[in-house]
Amino acid sequence: MKACVLQTPAKVETNPLEFAEVTIPEPGEGEVRVRAHACGVCRTDLHVIEGELPPRKSPVIPGHQVVGVVENAGKNAGRFAVGARVGIAWLHKTDGTCEYCRAGAENLCNAPEFTGYTVNGGYAEYIVAPESFVYPIPEGFPDEQAAPLLCAGIIGFRSLRLSGIKPGGRLGFYGFGAAAHVAIQVARHWKVEVYAATRDARHQKLALELGAAWAGGTFDEPPKKLDAAIVFAPAGEIVPAALKALKKRGELVLGGIHMSPIPSFPYDLLYQERMIRSVANNTRQDGEDFLRIAAEIPIRTHVQSFPLRDANRALNALKNDAIPGAAVLRI
């Protein structure tokens, strides 16, 4: 099969992914093999490819927002019929036995596996995954539209939940890429007022088109104090600015898996019971709940598609904020 393989982490400007012929994977017990049709390109892929996340498998096929159809199944795998359209996300597998899994917090599992990071992912024609961690894709979403829902969508949804935002509340988004452009559609569905702070004028325009009450530069102060905010951009220097925009008891959620160092800031920004919390991965329940709501709204993703062999080009465009919405590989 054709796949984009990372031999060694390197800056994406060096085009480190090798478009190569590799062996088609065989499903093990409890697994299915999926013929991939589309795979979203995520900022987490950048962190994996550039080594900002410590390498866990080498070589590795990146990609963790995969939409395709079940081709065959391993022993004791019968959840999906052959030909069923499914999605594969970041959380590949958990141990199911650690204290976090037992407490319903499998996103914090002590021994997790991650698609496109610790196991091969979706920048390929075929991928295998445990059937219990695979999602049925609702009807109504074309493959390329569905792919960004599987990470950008799910993580944005978890971030919204953890922010504690209520209908009628004011919510800030810092960074307006793939996750934010999906999350705003959920927030508006919940009757939340959204304020978008992002450095790129194209992303500001998209935020306004999707219903933001205001859009400005990353460090511009919103015209009203916020009940909560989510930082989607992996830039630690945004944290003090976001705290400054919050009301008393406001909650700041950091939605990325990696972030540059957070600078020191005056305690006054945190005082009056403001709170900072991170988002770590997602649970399967997050994914199931989000996909159901996504179909109800229905969410429409803004995508720019690339052929699989152009994965390096897609990643470079993502790194340089040249993708309004989400990038998706056609496979």
**pLDDT the model gives residue 130:** 98
Q: What pTM did the predictor assign? A: 0.95
> CA separation (Å) from 205 to 134, 171, 214, 217, 328?
34, 18, 10, 12, 21
Q: pLDDT (tens digit, 9 = 90+) per residue, 10-21?
A: 999 999 999 999
Rounded Cα gap, residues 224 and 246, in angstroms:
9
Q: What backbone phi and psi angles, to 5 degrees, belong to 142?
A: -60, 155
Q: What backbone phi and psi angles, to 5 degrees, belong to 13?
A: -60, -20
**pLDDT the model gives residue 132:** 98
Rounded Cα gap, residues 134 and 27, in angstroms:
13
Residues spanned by CATH 3.40.50.720 within the chain?
153-278
- Architecture label for domain 2-149+301-330: Alpha-Beta Complex (3.90)
In 3D space, the residue among 12, 86, 3 whose CA is nearest the CA of residue 45 turns out to be 12
- Token pair for 297: 């709204």
**pLDDT the model gives residue 3:** 98
Contact 317, 327 (CB under 8 A): yes
Q: Mean per-residue pLDDT for 111-127?
A: 98
pLDDT bucket at 133, cuts 50 / 70 / 90: very high
**pLDDT the model gives residue 84:** 98
Rounded Cα gap, residues 194 and 172, in angstroms:
6
Q: Mean per-residue pLDDT for 192-208?
A: 96
Q: Mean per-residue pLDDT for 207-234?
A: 98
Share of the chain above pLDDT 70, in %: 100
Cβ neighbours around 64 below 10 Å, total:
26
Q: Mean per-residue pLDDT for 169-195?
A: 97
Rounded Cα gap, residues 147 and 135, in angstroms:
12
Residues spanned by CATH 3.90.180.10 within the chain?
2-149+301-330
Please identify which residue in the block is written with the tokens 């999602």: 135
Q: pLDDT (tens digit, 9 = 90+) per residue, 67-101?
A: 999 999 999 999 999 999 999 999 999 999 999 99
DSSP state of 47: H
Rounded Cα gap, residues 54 and 63, in angstroms:
16
Q: Mean per-residue pLDDT for 173-189?
A: 97
**pLDDT the model gives residue 307:** 98
Q: Mean per-residue pLDDT for 163-179?
A: 97
**pLDDT the model gives residue 147:** 98
Longest dimension (CA), the chain: 58
Share of the chain above pLDDT 90, in %: 100
- Which CATH class for the 153-278 domain? alpha beta
Rounded Cα gap, residues 280 and 110, in angstroms:
12
- Token pair for 3: 């796949």
- Token pair for 321: 């904020």
Average pLDDT, the chain: 97
**pLDDT the model gives residue 271:** 97
